[in-house]
C-alpha cells in the first residue's frame, strides 16, 4: 500500500495487525481460517478443517484416572502403527 502512495491505508492495516498480534485467540482464528481455505482449495473440499474431529472432555477423578487418560493419549501413535514406542513420537 505504501508503494502505491496509500500511507493512510497502510497505517490502518498495520494497526489492525498490531492489535491482533497481542491476542492469541485472534491469531489462532486467522491461522485456522487461512489454512482451511488453502487446504479446501487444494483438496476440493469444504467446511472447517477440524469440523467434528476433536472434542474437549473434562477429566475429573483420582491420579489413577488421569494416569489412565494420559496413557491412552500417549499410546495412540503406537496403536495407529505410526511408531513402535510412545517415546519415538514427536
Task: Confirm whether 24 is domain-assigned.
Answer: yes
Least confident residue range of 11-15, 23-27, 51-55: 51-55
What is the pLDDT averaged over residues 11-40? 86
Task: Confirm whether 49 is domain-assigned.
Answer: no
Counting every residue written for the chain, the total comes to 90
Does residue 53 carry a pLDDT above 70? Answer: no
Report the pLDDT value the prediction gives residue 8, as an integer from 0 to 100.
95
Pair (86, 63) in one structural domain? yes
In whole angstroms, what is the distance from residue 70 CA to residue 61 CA?
13
Task: Confirm whether 50 is domain-assigned.
Answer: no
Q: What residues make up the domain containing 15?
A: 2-43
Task: Confirm whether 48 is domain-assigned.
Answer: no
Confidence of residue 4 (pLDDT cuts 50, 70, 90): very high
Contact 19, 11 (CB under 8 A): no
Task: Report the number of distinct structural domains present in the chain.
Answer: 2
Pair (62, 89) in one structural domain? yes
CA 30, 33, 37, 43 torsion-angle sign: positive
Pair (11, 39) in one structural domain? yes
Report the pLDDT value the prediction gives residue 58, as an integer from 0 to 100.
82
Amino acid at each position: 500500500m505504501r508503494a502505491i502512495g496509500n500511507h493512510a491505508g497502510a497505517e490502518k492495516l498495520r494497526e489492525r495487525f498490531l492489535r491482533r498480534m497481542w491476542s492469541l485467540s485472534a491469531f489462532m482464528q486467522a491461522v485456522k481460517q487461512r489454512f482451511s481455505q488453502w487446504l479446501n482449495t487444494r483438496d476440493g473440499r469444504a467446511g472447517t478443517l477440524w469440523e467434528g474431529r476433536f472434542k474437549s472432555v473434562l477429566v475429573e477423578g483420582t491420579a489413577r484416572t488421569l494416569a489412565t487418560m494420559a496413557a491412552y493419549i500417549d499410546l495412540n501413535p503406537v496403536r495407529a502403527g505410526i511408531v513402535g514406542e510412545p517415546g519415538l513420537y514427536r
